[in-house]
Chain A
Amino acid sequence: MTAAFFTKDEIAEYDLSERLPTNEQVNISVSKLLDKLDKQIYNSVNVDGTNTNDVGSLCNCGINPASGQPLTCQIDGS
């Protein structure tokens, strides 16, 4: 394991405790993310037409006319 993690000393030194999640929060978020993925079919998304944020595509930006919600542009994150 070579990934750089924050040590307890670093968290204290840079006053990061408020901005970083607790272990419990991390576990909850990981579960949520994987649940979301399970609703997808590997590299596709929901089958009900409500979410066009295509996991298999990097260029599906714009507005979902059905929901009126903006899609995440996977090129620029906007």
Chain B
Amino acid sequence: MFHNQIHPYVYEGVEGHLNIVNWKFLPLNSTKEEYRSLGFLIDQREKVIKSRLEAFPYDVPHALVTIIPGWDCNLRCTHCVVIDKLKKPGQSKNLVRIPDLIAFIEGYMDLTSKSMITLAFVGGEPLLYCDFINEVISHPKQFNFRYNLTTNLSQPLTDEQLDVLKLMDTFTVSVDGSEIQHNKQRLPLYKTSNVYLDLTNNLKTLAINGLNEKVTVQSALSVENLKNRDELKKFCATMLRLGISEDKLLLQGQHNTPRKPTYDSNNKLTDNNSKTPKTVSCCRHRSNSIVIDHEGDVCSDYYSMHKLGTIHESPSKIYDLYLKDIDNMPVLNDEKCAKCDVLALCWGGCTNNFDEYRKPSENCNQTHLQSINKDRLVNQSYNNKIKGSTS
């Protein structure tokens, strides 16, 4: 028997074996050569993991380019992960030439063979850069683009800003709970208004203009707020009454931040107590997703802002740097992680959880992830991939 040569990241279920690194499936009675052909054996570990990380992920239909028009922002939120970069409105200028930007994006995305590009405008507050966004959208392009914008909507919308929102396919609005909760976390740079009132008035304006169906509400709720069900009910009911659909109202916990990590009673980062399998690697190590800032710097992701180069360099050079950066993933250089059977449900965590990312086995989530119902994972994958079910 050769089954002792199968890597621990291959899970066995009633229907067969599932390789959770490359998500290939084999029936239980497969031959050793079949196992080898799909990278199920221990001696293939490194190659299989590298090829997974180097591949453009799965069947994601579009590539994602996050654009930071500038760091101007009207808020200073208590949980902001980029607060050290923020500027007062008017201080952070966009220095990018639009033709250079579009040429680079299309050149980079040509490498991914994706048919659709999502341009996501984030900040800071991107609605403070309406001229830039209008120019980006109106510039001629060869690829199909869709547009998204993340906004705090926390100051009265101008006509110009409303027109920009009308150009978006979707937009994401940050709301952190009921009025008390939201205003406690979302602090205005200048205390001239009630940000929650401005926000809800703006959501009314969106509904009146038929834009409410494009809105996803994302929240960053503290653990305290998640426990307060009366306030949560108020929050949900208010959003629904303003035309936000139930499936686009996301109740989310606050993200750990490098400057404000949260630890539980066992001195573990709270994110590491999550039983959530992270089946894709951190966005720093995901090639179909890049970030371009207001100076034309191309970065791997929003959180670490790891600079790969600039839009004035060739897209293939940037992509090569991306591939090189995979070798620096701490999780691939950690001996304990190398032997871990849940490596591909973790991938070392998010760069935003700085401690976890840099020292993955010291901030390990292994026990929680190992409690996942593996049999169900295997069978669900079997049903979807082998039998072609969409359920």
Contact = CB atoms under 8 A, between A and B. Distances in A.
B86 to A, nearest CB: 17
A61 B372 contact: no
A9 to B, nearest CB: 13
Contacts of A25: 240
Contact of A63 (B59, B64, B196, B302): B59
Interface in B249-285: 249-256, 270-271, 273-280, 282-283
Contacts of A59: 282-283, 301-303, 350, 352
Interface stretch (B93-101, B137-145, B229-237): B229-237
B158 interface: no
Contacts of B150: 75-77
Q: Name the interface size band of chain A.
A: 35 or more
B66 interface: yes
B250 to A, nearest CB: 7
A48 B317 CA distance: 40
Contacts of B289: 61
B201 interface: yes
B276 A74 contact: no
B166 to A, nearest CB: 16
Interface in A21-48: 21, 25-27, 29-30, 32-34, 36-37, 41-48
Q: Which 7 A-B pairs have the closest CB atoms?
A: A43-B253, A76-B120, A44-B274, A77-B216, A62-B280, A65-B23, A77-B172
Contacts of B243: 16, 19-20
Contacts, number: 221
B91 to A, nearest CB: 24
B17 interface: no
Q: Is the interface of B mostly helix, strand, loop or mixed?
A: mixed
B320 to A, nearest CB: 22
Interface in A61-77: 61-68, 70, 72-77
A30 B237 contact: yes
B55 interface: no
B151 to A, nearest CB: 11
Contacts of A26: 237, 240-241
A78 B246 contact: no
B361 interface: no
Contact of A44 (B60, B241, B273, B373): B273
Interface of B: 20, 23, 57-62, 64, 66, 118, 120, 122, 146, 148, 150, 170-172, 179, 194, 196-197, 200-201, 203-204, 207-208, 210, 212, 216, 218, 220, 223, 226-227, 229, 232-233, 236-238, 240-243, 246, 248-256, 270-271, 273-280, 282-283, 286, 289, 301-303, 345, 350, 352, 371-374, 376-377, 380-381, 384-385, 390
A33 B380 contact: no
Given A49-B373, A50-B376, A5 B271 contact: no
Contacts of B374: 49
A73 B64 contact: yes
A3 B196 contact: yes
**A27, A47, A58, A63: most-surrounded residue (chain B CB, <10 A):** A58
A44 B276 contact: yes
Q: Is the interface of A mostly helix, strand, loop or mixed?
A: loop
B271 A4 contact: no
Nearest to B149: A76
Contact of A29 (B60, B170, B240): B240
A49 to B, nearest CB: 4
Given A62-B57, A77-B216, A52 B278 contact: yes
A5 B301 CA distance: 37
A20 B282 CA distance: 38
A57 B276 contact: yes
Contacts of B146: 78
Contact of A67 (B60, B148, B179, B384): B384
B60 A57 contact: no
A43 B373 contact: no
A37 B274 contact: no
Contacts of A65: 20, 23, 58, 279, 381
Contact of A56 (B250, B270, B372): B270
Nearest to A72: B250
